[in-house]
Amino acid sequence: MLHRTGAKCARSRAHYILRVSELPIIDPTVRRTYAGTGLADDVTGAPLPLLRLWWAQAVDDERIAEPDAMVVATVDEAGNPDARTVLLKQLTPAGFTFFTNTDSTKGRQLRRTPYAALVLLWHPMHRQVRVRGPVTQVAREEAAAYFATRPRDSQVASAASQQSRPVASRAQLERAVAAEQARWPDTGSPTDVPLPPSWGGYRLQPDEVELWAGRPSRLHDRILFRRAGTGDLDDASAWTVTRLQP
Ligand SMILES: Cc1cc2nc3c(=O)[nH]c(=O)nc-3n(C[C@H](O)[C@H](O)[C@H](O)COP(=O)(O)O)c2cc1C
């Protein structure tokens, strides 16, 4: 539900868009009621069962276009934060895995500071998952196996793009793509385009996982799992569970 402070009636989306298109660009009085399903007091054990449940519910929710889109925050050489969206490709007891160019800005930052934070936001469900922990690069064979599942055009684009580096023009980028297309003839095999040298996966092994459920009147539920042992995301003995104030 969308309404503004003091207004009795719910506002339509059209009204909201109209408001946003007026000046000032952001109307600070627009408010939403967060009334998602909350988190009970009896949450115990490891984070993975609840993460698995929330993931399944997000995937089933047709209002969520990309449940796998997550923000990855890293740290640059000056110690300053950086963040961007990537796609979550694996959630296993070992951690959260995404794939990218290992010489990109984030790749270089992770080489220097192998620690990251992730945020998955499932807006229509009023749910957020926050994760922090050390990051390791996945084995090259694992990255190659995933790369082979990608459509050929995405493989070619990854081979052609020196991600995060400047390029003079769109035309120059398209010439680089054409060169990679010609270099790897299309026989219909998923491995026609080999794994590029600067492409791989990163796995974040959480030492903190927070599940946040939006509730009315800003009295949200927050459950923090904090690592207390060396076990994985499915090992109850490795985690403490704490409820946090909203
Ligand atoms: C919805 C969405 C999904 C994305 N998924 C990925 C991804 O899985 N891997 C990736 O390298 N970049 C992905 N990107 C692009 C990144 O946000 C970013 O532009 C790129 O990785 C370069 O980031 P960097 O310069 O900080 O390294 C995605 C962007 C969006 C908006």
The CATH number covering residue 63 comes to 2.30.110.10
Would residue 143 count as lying in a domain? no
Indicate if ligand 1 lies below 6 Å from the C-beta of 154.
no
122 and 209 within one domain: yes
Of the candidates 161, 135, 12, the residue with the CA atom closest to the CA atom of residue 74:
135
Q: Report how far apart, in Å, the C-alpha atoms of 7 and of each of 1, 10, 25 are.
A: 12, 8, 20
Give the residue whose CA is nearest to atom 30 of ligand 1: 85
Q: Look up residue 217 and give its DSSP letter.
A: G
Give the residue whose CA is nearest to atom 13 of ligand 1: 86
Q: How many residues does the chain have?
A: 246
pTM: 0.90
Cis peptide before 24 (omega within 30 of 0): yes
Of the candidates 89, 83, 53, the residue with the CA atom closest to the CA atom of residue 69:
89
Q: Report the atom number in ligand 1 closest to the C-alpha of 106.
A: 27
Would residue 142 count as lying in a domain? no
118 and 207 within one domain: yes
Q: State the pLDDT at residue 4.
A: 47
How far apart CA 95 and CA 122 sit, in angstroms, is 19
What distance separates the 2 farthest-apart alpha carbons in the chain? 64
Which helix (H) or strand (E) is 133 found in, with range? Answer: strand 127-137
209 and 95 within one domain: yes
Indicate if ligand 1 lies below 6 Å from the C-beta of 97.
no
Q: Report how far apart, in Å, the C-alpha atoms of 242 and of each of 36, 44, 82, 239, 245 are.
A: 20, 9, 28, 10, 10
Q: State the pLDDT at residue 17.
A: 66
Domain span at residue 230?
37-137+203-246
57 and 116 within one domain: yes
Indicate if ligand 1 lies below 6 Å from the C-beta of 105.
yes
127 and 28 within one domain: no
223 and 159 within one domain: no
Residue 114 in 3-state DSSP?
coil
Q: State the pLDDT at residue 16.
A: 64
209 and 116 within one domain: yes
Q: Each residue's pLDDT tens digit in the chain (246 positions)?
A: 444 444 444 556 766 666 656 667 788 888 888 887 888 888 889 999 999 999 999 999 999 999 999 999 999 999 999 999 999 999 999 999 999 999 999 999 999 999 999 999 999 999 999 999 999 999 999 999 999 999 999 999 999 999 999 999 999 999 999 999 999 999 999 999 999 999 999 999 999 999 999 998 888 999 999 999 999 999 999 999 999 999
Would residue 70 count as lying in a domain? yes
Our count of domains for the chain comes to 3
Q: Are 129 and 198 in contact (CB under 8 A)?
A: no
185-209 in b/e burial notation, b at 16+ Cβ within 10 A? eeeeeeeebebbebbbbbbbbbbeb
